[in-house]
Structure formats: structure tokens, C-alpha cells
Amino acid sequence: MQITLESKPFAGVETEALVSYVFEESDPVQGRVAEIDHLGGGLLRRLAKSGELTGKMLEFTLLHAPAGLKAARLLLVGAGKRAPWDSATLRKLAGAALRYLKSRSVRNFAMLVREGQATEESAQVIVEGILTADFESDKYKTDKKNDKRIASVSIAGYSDAERQKGEKGVAKGRVIADSQNFARDLINEPSNKLTPSILAQKAEAMAKAAGLSVEILDEKKIAELKMGALLSVAQGSVEPPRMIVIIYNPPSAKPGAPVIGLIGKAVTFDTGGISIKPSEGMEKMKYDMAGGATMIAVMRTLATLKPVVKVICVVPATENMPGGRAQKPGDIQTAMSGKTIEVLNTDAEGRLILADGVHYAKQLGATHLIDAATLTGAIVVALAGVNVGVFGSDQAFTDKLLSSAKAAGEKMWQMPIDEEYREFIKGTVADIQNISSGKGGGATIGAMFIKEFTGDSPWIHLDIAGTAWNDDTKPWLAKGPTGVGLRTLVHLIMSY
């Protein structure tokens, strides 16, 4: 899709649709919308008085052949209350506008920012909203009767003096959104099209194209390094595991700067193993590699944005299958760190592979650790599909991530990780066990298990089980993978 910045007066922009947004207030026809209303002879104010134009969130008002404009249509999208206003709302409005117009066979439109909002950030989030909204999950449909698509979008409302910062925002927004969609495309792949080996190949190809260092550890190298936790999950499948390592080295890193370690769970299909899952909904378990896909996509973004800190990405990739060689409940495994694990439930496998991933990231030199995983159903019970669950061992580091989440427009909520929870995974016949011996606190128990392998390094765990997949189409996003976490992690790393 072509995306450009338009600095000419909005009334003269020739497009199939001019889009702007209206706030929910006693008089929604203000500022730039009042200018449009003046050109149209007061129609918008009449619609507001009649109650047809209210500004309520995601209310659409579409007018054809609007007077005073060269645009063929005028679309006003409700933005809700003016305060508090944030860029996340603008991202959502841009995405919702694209999907609304796309469904009506519009092929190009112009997004008009409101008065005082012609900033770099506005251009960035508009582009992010547009490109992520344009992603569809219909890759494997052969009879695509719906060929509706948006070919080009322009962003209007910027003066010549504001153009440079607007174009900078457009470029940054495209890099981030393209990478988010890259992650979503990986997550959406069925497991027969994305085995651990294929995921590794795709990651390697991306890294080499982006100029990043990359190493793929095969099953022999994994065994040599004694990654027993990863191997224990992989042993039930005919598909061999892979450990994907991608490294970004900044041109001029500051002495003493942190080295960020990104670890992503990549179970390309999770049956639960011997502790097999119910058949209903199991097809969705292709998304159990969403954490790994997101971390790979973060590296893709950093290769272009070039932060000043070193970043090490480690992605353990495997299937979890109930084969004849699969591990069984009660088995004891030895992780790469030397810690022994009693496997009480083979469906608590994500924490096992992350144990080796986290330890290896530390060995490679990571000083600050962040893992992302579709780890527990318990986080869905706690936070539904609204917030990412955040667990952190270092409050300053965690606060920095939560601040980035807010800036990036991703909802995240800090969860408890008190030392008392350590008793829940204390082993009887091994050092630790992979699930709690009691009831409740499942998301925290999973986090506590991973924490066992982080040592004294500042560490954050993101449980994205409830947010990595949309079960229903939203006005601004298609049903399916979301790529959640990418914008937050990019913002965090760029903030150093």
C-alpha cells in the first residue's frame, strides 16, 4: 500500500474519501470539522442537532459528494470524549476507517488530522493503524471473491513546515507495522506449514536480509549444550527442535549499557503432550509460537530503527506431541542450568523451553531479560483478552516497560510475583516441579517457574495467552493473530 503525506489544503485533496474524526461533546462540530461544515453549508451542524452526528466512539457518518470538497465522500469517525485523548485512539480510528471503507470498495482515501495534531507521532500511529487493519487471515483461500483492497492512503492536515516531521512518522510507522504484520503472518501459519525447522529458516532469512547476526542451533547442538528442558518437550515429535539466536549489535554501544535479552516461546503446535488437551479449539494451538514470532519481528524492527543498546533474541522452537517417545507426567528432566525439574503436567511445556532459552540468553551476555509467551489459560481467566499479564523481578525495569506499553497503546497489567509463590513449585523429588501442587494462581506459578532461571538479572515475563489472538473481528483489526507486545518492546528498547 502506498502511503504519502499531503500538505495541500484539505478541501483540494482529490480522493475517493476524506476521513476525519469527531469528538463526543455538546457541540461536536468544532475546529477543522467546523471548517468542513462551513464549506458544506452547515450540513454537519444540522446532523449534530438531529442526533445523527454525536462523536460516540467508532460511530461512522458517511456523506457522498460533500459540498466544498474535491473528495468523493466524507467519512467522520466518532472519537469519543476529547479528554483523555491519546495516540492509541487515533491508531484505532485510522484502522477502523480503513476497514469500513475497504468493505465499501473504496480504493484510496485521505486521513485528515485534527487541529493541533499534525505531529510526528500522529503520522506514525495513523500508518500503524492503517497497515495493521489491512492485514487479513485469508492467505490460503483459493476462491477470493472479495478482492476489495485499499491501494493508497494520504495523510492530510500537515503544513509545509510540519511536513518533515510528518514524513519521519510515516517512515517509522511503516517499519513497526510491517514487522507487526510479519509476526502475525508467522502466527497465522498452520503447523504443517510452520514446523520448528521452517520457523528457523524464515527467521534466518529475515535476519540475513536485515543485516543481523543469526545462528540456528539444531537438535545435535542443543543436546551438546545440555538443554534438557527443551529436548524433553521436543522428544515426542518427529519434528526436531531448533534454538534460534538473533543478535543486534549497535554501531556505537555506550560502555556499561544494558544488553537486552528477548526470549520468545515458540511451540509451533501444542497438543499438550501426554497430558493432552481437549479436542475443542485445539486447532488454535498453532498460535502457541506467538511469543517467539513477536520477538523475531522485534529484531526485524530494530535492524532499521537502530537503537544504541545490544539486543540478543533467543527463541526455543519445538512441537509438543504425545508420541511414543514423549515425556510422561512424573519424569524428571535436567535443564541447561543444571536445575532438575519434575514434570507433573506435560501441557505446562512453555515454561520448560523458556528455562533453557532464558539461561542461554544469560550465557550469551544478556543483562536484562524479557520473555513473551502464550503461557497460561489462567491469565485469560484473570485478565480476559484485554490486558497482557506482566510479571517483573525488578520494579524499575518493570515500570519502564509499563510506561512504554502506555506510550505504545498496548494494555498491560502488572501481576504479583511474591516470594511466597515459590513454595508452590518447590519439588519433592527434584529441585522444582513445573506446576503447582495446590490450586489457584496459575499465571503467577508459571512466571515463578521461569524466574528460577533468571538469577539476579532484572527480568520481565509477558503472558500473552489472552491477547495474542483475536477470537472475533474488531472494527480496527481482523480476527486472528495480533502481534501484541511488539510496539511496547520496540518503544522500550528505543528509549535507552
Which residues are part of the catalytic machinery? Answer: 277, 351
Spatial contact of 233 and 434, defined as CB atoms under 8 Å apart: no
Is residue 156 helix, strand or coil? strand
C-alpha cell belonging to residue 219? 537438535
**CA neighbor of 422 nearest in space, from 393, 385, 400:** 393
User: For the residues of 38-76, what is the DSSP string, one character each?
Assistant: HHTTSHHHHHHHHTS----TT-EEEEES-TT-SSSEEEE
Is residue 109 helix, strand or coil? strand
Rounded Cα–Cα distance for residues 255 and 488 (Å): 25
Return the number of other C-beta atoms located less than 10 Å from residue 287's C-beta: 25
Quote the DSSP letter at residue 252.
T
The DSSP bridge partners found for residue 481 are 469
**CA neighbor of 421 nearest in space, from 407, 409, 439:** 439
For residues 324, 327, 333, 337, the Cα torsion angle rounded to the nearest 10 degrees is: 90
Spatial contact of 216 and 168, defined as CB atoms under 8 Å apart: no
Please report which helix (H) or strand (E) contains residue 486, including its range.
helix 486-494
Rounded Cα–Cα distance for residues 288 and 464 (Å): 10
* Beta-carbon contacts of residue 199 (< 8 Å; ≥ 6 apart): 186, 242, 244, 266, 268, 289, 292, 293, 315, 317
